[in-house]
Structure 1
């Protein structure tokens, strides 16, 4: 038994219907295509508007980095959709296999770290408003985002190192882990080492990309809610709705993936639980990508000020485009009118020259 890109167990034997897409695969491919299209358009819109038409602020930097990570993830979806559409066969080479898989895990870490950082930032604004006013600026937030990307890249290195293409006897090529790569020299239990590596990567993802960020998000918003309650401030319905939406979407999108990963890793080989987890992992990984589609909705469109800026910026862009079109149309009309006027002047000049010549010719004929 071998495993596919997102830990889906695949039998090495050729089944009678291996060339036909199962209903589950068709459903997963459809979800990939839908999430990819929506996510790319959505995050490109945010990057284009917030990056070029909105004044730099702390929240805009958070949003830009989150949108960049989500755009990177959703842009990689079409390649995995191609893999699934070709019957779970990877045809893009070993190097791109490592790069493509690393993008998935990089987005997983960056999203978790950024969501935790955004929650902590909002918590500090409420709990330490004076400190936030003096120290919270775009330069510091930009550096924090750089550190987040660097830490996420470091966490992604093991997943890049142990990723490779696997050629099966039935002609299929998988993009999956090879835990026997970079084995140390000496006598040891290779099977135990591979198992330890597999478990270490699974629990690393679980804690660093899910449990710890989720704990920080919950504690931050709980602290904000407690502080507002002590001050006697009324929590707005929009704030409560945003907090609930952030926590629920993060849990619903990523919890299934990590749960099935742990089940698949910890279950004995051939156990029914492992088979169930292997079948569910491709769908759960696709649902994890849904978080990249929901993040812009939660963090951008839930902010009225930023929404107004986006609408105004889009309006300004459209007005600029229309103004350019109208100016081009006016220029063309002006050129056409100028051409017509020039033609009329030339015709009049020709007529004025032709008239004396005609009179002179008539006088000559009369004298003869």
Structure 2
């Protein structure tokens, strides 16, 4: 394939110039099979779990401020896990992108959208908790489900705006070895092509720092400061802490930090180091794995909801029981219906057969009677 590396940023030119052709069956090695299977497992678990959370919280839990927060988190996680099968296909096909430029941008945008929405929502939940504890009268007067719905709508809008640059600069980049990579193309839309190297470096660093600050550092700072304020206020009042919701939020936040920190650290290292730095290759290899760990956050959140909220766990069990009872009732009704139909058919056949035999017997009897009369007459004559 003829590819002009000069059309791409210096950091990407090495990727474009690669002539190493990964074996399409490389994924069939034990490690490859394990990695692909792990992604497939994450995908299935994440989709099923988040769908279950949405169904249970959406239809079987009384609508409240907390349930609205959880519904929005689960929606974001469902979007992320729904895109995992595409990444699994990418690995299974020898790490080459085969779904085109547009879907490359969409798939990557879902990843970044989930990253921003998760950070913004966790920060908003922490501020909400802080408001309830520090300003209970204000919370009583203004904290409503309608207001929370509006806040969630603003969060999704802001997250979509933050995702826009990553959508614009994501592209399907062809390589000389015939493969295609879904990666950054910061050389697009340059007003001064002669300054491509400077503009590429500026865009790489700007977007890496942008997503680090707005998707990780600022939300984490808001979360930590909010809960420090809550704990100080409760300690000063001598109030006993309500651990149920706090336990849920803390677990979700810890999962958020553990899952997303490696990705952000490696992203910043990638653009801050020289492309000839000895560890640059190691960072480039570790980034996809770090992105996978980021996806894992969307799989862990539903588990945390269940284990941190006994009421939610009970409702899920009841919902599953209700579903199973419905399925079994429908199967039993179908079995009874078919059995009744079969019995009716057999009864109809038996009645028809008896009627036929009865008619045949009557016919034979009627045919036999004239003959007897004739024989009787002959005897009289």
Interval of TM-score (by shorter of Structure 1 and Structure 2): 0.7 to 0.9
Q: Distance in 1 between matches of 2:32 and 2:119?
A: 28
Q: Distance in 2 between matches of 1:89 and 1:347?
A: 70
Partner residue, 2:154: 147
Q: Deviations over 1:39-73 (max 9, x none)?
A: 12211222233334444333332222222211211
In the alignment, structure 1 segments of 5+ residues that lack a partner are: none
Given candidates 14, 22, 29, the residue that maps to 2:19 is: 14
Q: Distance in 2 between matches of 1:160 and 1:16?
A: 28
In the alignment, structure 2 segments of 5+ residues that lack a partner are: 375-381
Q: Deviations over 1:147-189 (max 9, x none)?
A: 211111111110111111222222222221121211125x873
| Pair 1:90 & 2:65 matched | no
- 1:61-76 → structure 2 map (5 Å cutoff): 61-76=68-83
What is the DSSP-based 3-state SS (H/G/I as helix, E as strand, rest coil) of the residue aligned with 1:14? coil
Q: Distance in 2 between matches of 1:125 and 1:362?
A: 102
Given candidates 286, 290, 296, the residue that maps to 2:292 is: 286
What TM-score does the superposition give when structure 1 sets the normalisation length?
A: 0.87
State the Cα distance separating 1:237 from its structure 2 match.
6.1
Q: Are 1:263 and 1:273, in contact at CA under 8 Å, matched by a contact in 2?
A: no
State the Cα distance separating 1:240 from its structure 2 match.
6.2
Q: How many residues align?
A: 364
Q: Distance in 2 between matches of 1:27 and 1:366?
A: 92
Given candidates 110, 127, 132, the residue that maps to 2:117 is: 110
Given candidates 245, 261, 267, the residue that maps to 2:273 is: 267
Q: Are 1:253 and 1:287, in contact at CA under 8 Å, matched by a contact in 2?
A: yes
Q: Deviations over 1:251-308 (max 9, x none)?
A: 1101111111111111122112333322221111111111111111123442112222
State the Cα distance separating 1:127 from its structure 2 match.
3.6
> Structure 1's 280 and 153: CA in aligned 2 closer, same or farther, altered over 3 A?
same
| Pair 1:311 & 2:305 matched | no
Given candidates 256, 261, 265, the residue that maps to 1:255 is: 261
Partner residue, 1:173: 180
Q: Which has the larger radius of gyration?
A: 2
What is the DSSP-based 3-state SS (H/G/I as helix, E as strand, rest coil) of the residue aligned with 1:344? helix
What is the DSSP-based 3-state SS (H/G/I as helix, E as strand, rest coil) of the residue aligned with 2:63? coil
What TM-score does the superposition give when structure 2 sets the normalisation length?
A: 0.84
> Structure 1's 353 and 81: CA in aligned 2 closer, same or farther, altered over 3 A?
closer
Of 114-123 and 21-30, the range deviating more from structure 2 = 21-30
Q: Are 2:248 and 2:309, in contact at CA under 8 Å, matched by a contact in 1?
A: no
Q: Deviations over 1:98-128 (max 9, x none)?
A: 1111111111111111222223333333444
Q: Distance in 1 between matches of 2:176 and 2:334?
A: 63
